[in-house]
Amino acid sequence: MAALAPAHAQETNGTPAAQDNGEIVVTARFRTESLTDVPIAITALKGDTLAAQNLNTLQDIAQTVPTLDFRAGSSNKDRSTFIRGIGTITTSPGVEPSVATVIDGVVLARPGQSTLDLLDIERVEILRGPQGTLFGKNASAGVINIVSKEPARQLGFNAQLGIYEGGEYRVRLGASGPIGDDWGFAVTGLLGGFKGNVRNVTTGDWVNGYDRQGGRAKLVYRPADNLKFTLAGDYVFTYENVPTGVFVSTSRVAYPSGTVTPNADLAAILAASGIVPGANNTRVAPSFDADVRDKNYGGSFTAEIGIGDHTLTSITAYRGWKNRQHQDWDSVGPLTAATARGEDIGKVDSDQFSQELRLTSPKGKLIDYVVGLYYFHTVARERYQRGVTRLVAGTPVFDLGVANYRTDLDNYSVFGEANINFTPRFRAILGGRLIHDDLAYEHARVATTATGVAGIRPSYSSSGDTNRTDFSLRAGLQYDLSDRLNLYATYSRGYKGPAYNVFFNMQAFDVNPLAPETSNSFEAGLKGSSGNGAVTYSLAAYLTKFQGFQANFQDTYLGTLVTRLINAGDVSSRGVEGDITLRPVQNLRLSGAFAYNDAHIDQFLCPASAGGACANVDGQPLPFAPKWKFHVDGSYRVPVTDTLGIDLQSDFSWKDDTQYSITQTPDTVQPAYGIWNASIGLVSDAGKGWEIRALIKNIANQHYSPAIGYGAVAGVSRFVPRDNSRYVGINANLNF
């Protein structure tokens, strides 16, 4: 294990993530470097190849990357990503994610912002382990670094069309090229939709679908070789009608006793609607279709100025996020004495501003470095309304709760990371970030109930603020055994700042701030390739221990499920990762990647407000942390003419049993499953090139769920993925 923790360069469909003279290149350390030179565990994926395989979001990508996982939800507000089994599950605006998402150098404030469409990107880099030294404080588990495309050197146009079984389509049009000698531009527009693969038997509509429109534009000005100015902007609007009540079971199974508690009322309601709960149920019966509207947008100005042989980079950015939700709280239609009927209306308005200034030295001297200053400000305003109707002595009684709350965060930091080159082959790595956070919140709830009813607590208001100064750290050694073989070992300290559990049903014991989440991580890595690139490989081992882990804890209030954010205690993640890519003959490429990850709870701290009603979960797995996961793929180009070929591609992903709840309930476990996909494409290299590709997803028709949880009122429900069942489609890509 003395030589493990790779820069893992995953490729898809025979095309590397990014290339420069045959080398895969990344910008994981704010400079363009060969992936084999970077002492960080990285997965790099090419944007065009992801689009060709209908992988357009982080949820899609998570299936193909063994160390990445994704939690589905009823809207972007409820979704999040995990790296090596570590992530943040919460809807509170007073907490940041453990996995940071960065778009062209701009960190996104909320987990929900990171689930946007991957529109017109050059590549996605997934950096594993604490990355707070260079990428900011909310990167205690890792970073997803999204890099958009630069303007092309020659004027060109691109048209992509995808049509898929089940009423799904995707149209993308783009143009890119120079404007005179000093200017360049790139602009892309997107239109897509999916009618859904779940049936609402009450309304008769297909749901679990989406409509999406958006665009991205970039303008680059290069008045001199050492000057570059970039103005970039993007906007994506998404409408979704994802249901929350796709029931797996009307009973619940307790942990650790295994006691089964049935709900006869829910069972009767579903039976009357003709719904049979089960692991592949795709029918729901809410009173109305869910309606979620999401706007994700922003702009940035980047200046890169050469000062001698150094580069000064300034990134000034603003991002906005607006989320509107209208959902059926109880997930069923009828009002009965045992089951109340509820309606939720939510609104999120989030704005952020950031300014980064950094200085990058040239490579090749005794010390090369990146140093910088960073400022980040975000304001999140939310309004959540819940109306609940109950039958009391046969008479309907209506109660309403409305909460308005907001959080304000200011983050200041100074950072740097350096290589100390003892020899051309042997170097030390040393970096750190000094961080100061100011966090404040306000909360006010008005309710018509004085004692509380199912799903609504009484009127309540509070406010508070906290601040913290802390640090991230990275240190290590790196040795190049040869030009094509790299060995390194590192230690990192991760940090995620204090938090508040601010949400609709906030209570008096939520006013105390959560302590920061910190981690200590040890990695060692080996990666290399043959001289002609016929074989590339990497192997990794890591051990990360987290203190003050910020996690959601499930509780009940008047028979209703309530979740709240707590410092859950100590957890750890340890494992081995590896990958290999083979090109044994011309036009044939085979690759595979695997991850063994033991992410579990070391010591769970039961919150005092639970009254000691916590089961002992020490030693149990963390949510969304399968122990084993692997992905294999292969492609072969059959030449037809000098410029025309037939491209054959297939891939298979396998995922171990996965627990989706920190409370370890047996009925929230997704059994192991595998997904097999394939495609065949006709590819032309003549002119600027074109491609027509037919694909088939989930060939074996393997049903699964990316998230299983308890319903708000009763039962166990699941979210249904796009590829829950086999489907086919065609992608066309034309460059001219």
* Domain-embedded: residue 426: yes
pLDDT for residue 18: 43
Within 8 A by CB and 6+ apart from 175, the residues are 155, 156, 157, 158, 185, 186, 187
Q: What is the mean pLDDT of the chain?
A: 90
Q: Is the dihedral of CA 599, 603, 606, 608 positive or negative?
A: negative
* Domain-embedded: residue 10: no
* Closest-CA residue to 79 (of 95, 63, 90): 90
- Cα separation, 538 vs 578, whole angstroms: 5
Q: How many CA atoms lie within 13 A of 433 on its CB side?
A: 31
* Domain-embedded: residue 11: no
In this model, does residue 490 exceed pLDDT 60? yes
Residue-wise pLDDT for 560-599, tens only, equals 777 778 898 999 999 999 988 899 999 999 999 999 999 9
Strands (E), 13-84: 19-20, 23-26, 33-34, 41-46, 68-71, 80-83
Q: Tokens for 187? A: 């602009």
* Closest-CA residue to 684 (of 637, 621, 720, 625): 637
- Cα separation, 670 vs 71, whole angstroms: 12
Residues found in the chain: 736
At 559, the pLDDT band (50, 70, 90 cuts) reads: low
* Helix, strand or coil, per DSSP, at residue 680: strand
Q: Which residue has the higher pLDDT, 547 or 46?
A: 547
* Helix, strand or coil, per DSSP, at residue 609: helix
- Cα separation, 2 vs 40, whole angstroms: 15
CB neighbour burial string for 76-109, b if at least 16 within 10 angstroms, e if fewer: bbbbbbbbbbbbbbbbbbbbbbbbbbbbbbbbbb
C-beta of residue 555 within 8 angstroms of C-beta of residue 706: no
List the alpha helices (DSSP H) in 185-335: 264-272
Q: What angle do CA 35, 38, 39 make, to 5 degrees?
A: 135
Q: How many CA atoms lie within 13 A of 374 on its CB side?
A: 23
- Cα separation, 336 vs 422, whole angstroms: 75
* Domain-embedded: residue 7: no
At 430, give phi and psi (nearest 5°).
-145, 125
- Cα separation, 555 vs 562, whole angstroms: 5
- Cα separation, 127 vs 133, whole angstroms: 12
What kind and span of H or E run contains 376?
strand 367-392
Residue-wise pLDDT for 277-293, tens only, equals 999 999 999 999 999 99
Q: How many domains does the chain have?
A: 1
Q: Tokens for 347? A: 């609104």
In this model, does residue 1 exceed pLDDT 70? no
* Helix, strand or coil, per DSSP, at residue 61: helix
- Cα separation, 190 vs 213, whole angstroms: 5
Amino acid code (one letter) for 234? D
List the alpha helices (DSSP H) in 89-196: 132-135
C-beta of residue 480 within 8 angstroms of C-beta of residue 515: no
128-142, 315-329, 399-413, range with the lowest pLDDT: 128-142
At 5, the pLDDT band (50, 70, 90 cuts) reads: very low
pLDDT for residue 307: 95
Strands across the sheet with 716-718, in order? 246-249, 716-718, 708-710
What kind and span of H or E run contains 109?
none
Beta partners for residue 209, in sequence order: none
What kind and span of H or E run contains 268?
helix 264-272
Amino acid code (one letter) for 495? Y
DSSP state letter for 76:
G
- Cα separation, 647 vs 386, whole angstroms: 53
What is the CATH classification number for the domain harbouring 33?
A: 2.40.170.20
End-to-end CA distance of the chain: 50
- Cα separation, 503 vs 511, whole angstroms: 11
Burial-class residue 384 by CB neighbours within 10 Å (0-12, 13-18, 19+).
Answer: buried
In this model, does residue 119 exceed pLDDT 90? no
C-beta of residue 616 within 8 angstroms of C-beta of residue 256: yes
At 17, the pLDDT band (50, 70, 90 cuts) reads: very low
User: Which value, to the nearest 10 degrees, does the dihedral of the CA atoms of residues 78, 81, 84, 89 take?
Assistant: -20
Return the number of other C-beta atoms located less than 10 Å from residue 205's C-beta.
Answer: 15
Longest dimension (CA), the chain: 84
Q: Tokens for 297? A: 């947008």
User: Which value, to the nearest 10 degrees, does the dihedral of the CA atoms of residues 286, 289, 292, 293 take?
Assistant: -170
* Domain-embedded: residue 297: yes
In this model, does residue 511 exceed pLDDT 70? yes
* Domain-embedded: residue 1: no
Within 8 A by CB and 6+ apart from 481, the residues are 425, 487, 528
- Cα separation, 698 vs 486, whole angstroms: 37
Return the number of other C-beta atoms located less than 10 Å from residue 618's C-beta.
Answer: 12
Q: Could you list the residue range(s) of the whole structural domain that residue 371 is in?
A: 19-735
Listing DSSP states for 193-223 in one string gives: EE--SEEETTT--EES-EEEEEEEEEEEEEE
* Closest-CA residue to 533 (of 483, 577, 601): 483
* Domain-embedded: residue 127: yes
At 451, give phi and psi (nearest 5°).
-115, -10
In this model, does residue 249 exceed pLDDT 80? yes
Do the bridges between strand 569-582 and strand 588-604 make them parallel or antiparallel, or are there none, so unpaired? antiparallel
Residue-wise pLDDT for 297-352, tens only, equals 999 999 999 999 999 999 999 999 999 999 999 999 889 988 899 999 999 999 99
Within 8 A by CB and 6+ apart from 727, the residues are 164, 165, 166, 168, 696, 697, 698
Q: Tokens for 621? A: 């797995």
In this model, does residue 487 exceed pLDDT 50? yes
SS3 content of the chain, % helix, strand, coil (to 5): 5, 60, 35
In this model, does residue 8 exceed pLDDT 80? no
Question: Across residues 76-103, what is the average pLDDT?
Answer: 89
Question: Across residues 121-134, what is the average pLDDT?
Answer: 89
Strands across the sheet with 283-284, in order? 206-207, 198-200, 283-284
At 612, the pLDDT band (50, 70, 90 cuts) reads: low
Q: Tokens for 611? A: 């009254």
* Domain-embedded: residue 33: yes
* Helix, strand or coil, per DSSP, at residue 321: strand
- pTM equals 0.91
- Cα separation, 464 vs 483, whole angstroms: 55
* Closest-CA residue to 374 (of 570, 100, 619): 100
pLDDT for residue 735: 93
pLDDT for residue 702: 96
Q: What percent of the chain has pLDDT over 70?
A: 95
